[in-house]
Structure 1
């Protein structure tokens, strides 16, 4: 029998100016930092989804961009179909990169012909 995904629900207060603070747990889940932006997606059933706004890269791969746009639309239109990644897959991924050191700030090496 399939296990249903748990939903995290955290209350927040709207100020007189219509503002609120994104709760720390949500900021952590979305990997939000200072000055990051979010988008709100209102669904037909009255549900609102908050997501990290992804910067559009003008030189980006058009196929990847279209695929990511498709995923975003599909998740917004069919949120009930979203499932958590199985722990076994996460564990397998961690095992594959165990001990691998990557400097994300280092420049990429030129392609060698």
Structure 2
């Protein structure tokens, strides 16, 4: 029988906690990874690492992570979009219908 390790962490006032290093290593968790919780009828909670699906783009994920970090570190850099730019964009694409579920043609692949 495999050895059982036990660790604990503390909830903050905002119900947040740090995942202990032992758990991060066991689940091979990195920054921005997702955790799945399975709650059993006995009250036991099982944590597992969410595996990236085939459709996930790792480069896009890293870029979005970079943007999120930059926004949180430098919120003063955020600017609202000018109403004139919004109107110009709407004039260019305002009536284009897009079906995101439609299959791409061979030319579009």
TM-score (norm 2): 0.47
**Rg larger for:** 2
The structure, 1 or 2, with the larger RCO (C-alpha pairs under 8 Å, 6+ apart) is 1
